[in-house]
Homo-oligomer: A and B are copies of this chain.
Amino acid sequence: MDHPRFLYDLEHCSIRRALDVLGEKWTLLVLREAFYGLSRFDDFARALACGRGVLSARLKTLTEAGILERREYREPDQRARAEYRLTDKGRDLFPALLALSQWSERWTPPPDGPVARVLDRKSRQPVTIVMTSDRGVERLGMRDIEILPGPGARRVDPAKRRQ
């Protein structure tokens, strides 16, 4: 670790390329909401309070990057509307978000406990992110887990607040 005498080429760095898409303000928070189950413009806008212009731009970037997919849906007796769903590429980002979240909770624990819990659907055990070289370990995907409100979760006033 001491005094490396070579540098890596940052143009080809995978972290830099990931941040081209994910590095803007609000982007990861939009994804967090998507993982919590939101898909509609107004739901995102209410949950994030981030300005509809920014939200619109972020949804566009994420859609163009293939992380979200724009789809039409139609509720009974309603016209068609748009929703944004995670693609496989988007769902595959969950471990990165969970790693960030668990780091945050390890070092600055929220006073009322975690806002969300992540459980293995089968074993009902909590899910964690680990760094390992063991090729035999069970690897869970989004479909194997369940996200539930934790002790620190609070119902948010669902009253409309359009900006």
- A129: Cβ under 8 A from any B Cβ: yes
Q: Is the CB of B139 within 8 A of A15?
A: no
A36 to chain B, nearest CB (A): 6
Q: Is the CB of B133 within 8 A of A139?
A: no
From 17 to 73 in chain A, residues with beta carbon under 8 angstroms from any chain B beta carbon are 17-19, 22-23, 25, 28-29, 32, 36-38, 46-49, 66
Q: Mark A112-148, 1 if CB is under 8 A from B, else 0.
A: 1011100110010111111111110111110001000
A98 and chain B: residue at smallest CB distance: B131
A134 and chain B: residue at smallest CB distance: B138
- A163: Cβ under 8 A from any B Cβ: no
- A77: Cβ under 8 A from any B Cβ: no
Chain B residues near A137: list those with CB within 8 A.
130, 132, 134, 137
- A160: Cβ under 8 A from any B Cβ: no
Chain B residues near A154: list those with CB within 8 A.
8-9, 12
Cα distance A44–B19 in the bound complex, in angstroms: 18
Q: Is the CB of A104 within 8 A of B139?
A: no
Chain B residues near A29: list those with CB within 8 A.
10, 13, 15-16, 19
Q: Is the CB of A15 within 8 A of B106?
A: no
Which residue in B98, B125, B134 is a CB contact (below 8 Å) of A133?
B125
A103 to chain B, nearest CB (A): 6
Cα distance A97–B110 in the bound complex, in angstroms: 22
Q: Is the CB of B149 within 8 A of A8?
A: yes
Chain B residues near A10: list those with CB within 8 A.
29, 47-49, 156
